[in-house]
């Protein structure tokens, strides 16, 4: 830039009308986006406050640790909590290994061809299938065809199929976040693919993989439709308050999500605070699991090595 084109250099930094207009539009944009972001928080707070406040009268230590009575409208929710625990654990034990291992295959071993394209397509579409359809599939496949009957196992397997595509997708994303240059460096020194995966890729993507898996816990705990059709009862009287209330291979169980649905819509004479109390417990479980996922990710990220 020459002096000739800028006869008065002192004024070139002054605020002109155009600059004021820029400032104004910047401010408007910032506020608009900020309000939208804040709007995300409000529903969560309202839901939590409303549910906890309404459920307060029914909430107590006894409520958590005693079994339901009289078709579920009296007593606590212990057997429902245990049922949810069983279902979540078994379904994750099935879907996490299969999902993670197939994602490793797809991301690390598979070459781009018609077979992998079909697998990718299946994963994407499976993730888009509504949960009630998964429930119907589970009813046909596990309950009737495989002869498992309505049982915790059938319900868990149904949920496994539902969560598999999401676990595969999140694991693939975590694996892809490890730079290709690391893999190439390993191959260049004569390491096999498996040595590369075990020593470099997995240790550096484990935080993302675990986070993806844990987030599926809350999804599994909250689903109602698939388990309603495949192995969860509206009410089941059980003895005792230990952890071993059910035989997962043969028994139906209760579950928090199903219990909430039943009490809120079907049961008469239930105290009005009861559904909110169940909702509070379900919500706490989900938020607790999410919080632990965030904590775990933060911990593993702090140990990240590049």
Partner 1 sequence: MLTFVRGKNGDDTELISNLDPMRETKKIEIENLRLAYGGKEVIHGISFDVRANEIFGIIGPAQSGKTSLLRCINRTIEFTAGAKVQGMIKVDGQDVSRMKNVYELRRQVGMVAPLPVGLPLSIYDNVAFAPRAAGMRNKHHLDALVEKCLRQAALWDEVTDRLDSLGTRLSGGQQQRLTIARALSHQPEILCLDEFSIAIDPVTTMRIEDVLKELRKEMTIILVTNLVQQARRLADRTMFLWNGEIIELDSNEVMFSDNPRNRKTYEYVNGIFG
Tell me which stretch binds partner 1 (CB under 8 A): 52-60, 68-76, 149-157, 298-306.
Answer: 298-306
* Cβ distance to partner 1 smaller for residue 119 or 267: 119
| Binding residue for partner 1, selected from 59, 200, 267, 296, defined by CB under 8 A | 200
Give the Å distances, CA to CA, from 82 to 69, 107, 143, 201.
Answer: 16, 36, 21, 36
The CB-based long-range contact list for 42-51 (8 Å cut-off, 24+ gap) reads: 47/283, 48/283, 51/276, 51/279, 51/280, 51/283
By CB under 8 A, the residues from 219 to 278 that bind partner 1 are: none
* Cβ distance to partner 1 smaller for residue 5 or 181: 181
State how far Cα 46 lies from the chain centre. Answer: 21
Tell me which stretch binds partner 1 (CB under 8 A): 47-55, 125-133, 137-145, 192-200.
Answer: 192-200
Q: Per rule CB under 8 A, is residue 118 in the interface with partner 1?
A: no
Closest CA to 253 of 164, 136, 159, 162: 159
Q: Per rule CB under 8 A, is residue 199 in the interface with partner 1?
A: yes
Distance, CA of 164 to CA of 168 (rounded, Å): 6
* Cβ distance to partner 1 smaller for residue 191 or 286: 191
For the CB of residue 196, give the shortest distance to partner 1 in the complex, in Å.
9
By CB under 8 A, the residues from 128 to 187 that bind partner 1 are: 181-182, 184-187
Give the Å distances, CA to CA, from 284 to 65, 179, 224, 242, 280.
Answer: 16, 37, 17, 21, 6
For the CB of residue 190, give the shortest distance to partner 1 in the complex, in Å.
4
| Binding residue for partner 1, selected from 158, 204, 207, 224, defined by CB under 8 A | 204
């Amino acid at each position: 830039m020459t002096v000739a084109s800028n006869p008065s250099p002192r004024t070139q930094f002054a605020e002109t009308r155009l600059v004021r207009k820029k400032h104004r539009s910047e401010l408007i944009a910032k506020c608009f986006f900020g309000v939208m972001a804040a709007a995300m928080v409000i529903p969560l707070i309202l839901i939590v406050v409303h549910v906890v406040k309404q459920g307060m009268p029914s909430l107590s230590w006894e409520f958590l640790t005693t079994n339901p009575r009289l078709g579920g409208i009296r007593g606590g929710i212990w057997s429902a909590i245990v049922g949810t625990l069983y279902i979540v654990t078994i379904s994750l034990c099935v879907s996490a290994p299969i999902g993670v291992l197939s994602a490793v295959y797809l991301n690390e071993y598979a070459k781009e061809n018609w077979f992998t394209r079909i697998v990718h397509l299946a994963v994407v579409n499976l993730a888009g299938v509504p949960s009630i359809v998964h429930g119907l599939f589970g009813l046909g496949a596990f309950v009737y065809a495989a002869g498992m009957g309505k049982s915790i196992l059938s319900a868990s397997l149904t949920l496994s199929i539902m969560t598999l595509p999401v676990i595969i997708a999140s694991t693939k994303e975590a694996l892809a976040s490890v730079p290709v240059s690391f893999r190439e460096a390993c191959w260049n020194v004569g390491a096999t693919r498996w040595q590369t995966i075990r020593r470099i890729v997995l240790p550096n993507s484990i935080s993302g993989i675990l986070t993806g898996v844990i987030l599926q816990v809350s999804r599994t705990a909250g689903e109602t439709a698939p388990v309603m059709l495949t192995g969860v009862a509206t009410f089941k009287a059980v003895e005792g308050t230990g952890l071993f209330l059910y035989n997962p291979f043969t028994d139906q169980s209760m579950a928090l999500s199903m219990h909430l649905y039943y009490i809120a819509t079907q049961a008469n004479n239930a105290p009005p605070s009861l559904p909110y109390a169940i909702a509070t417990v379900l919500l706490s479980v989900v938020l607790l699991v999410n919080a632990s996922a965030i904590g775990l990710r933060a911990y593993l990220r702090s140990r990240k090595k590049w």
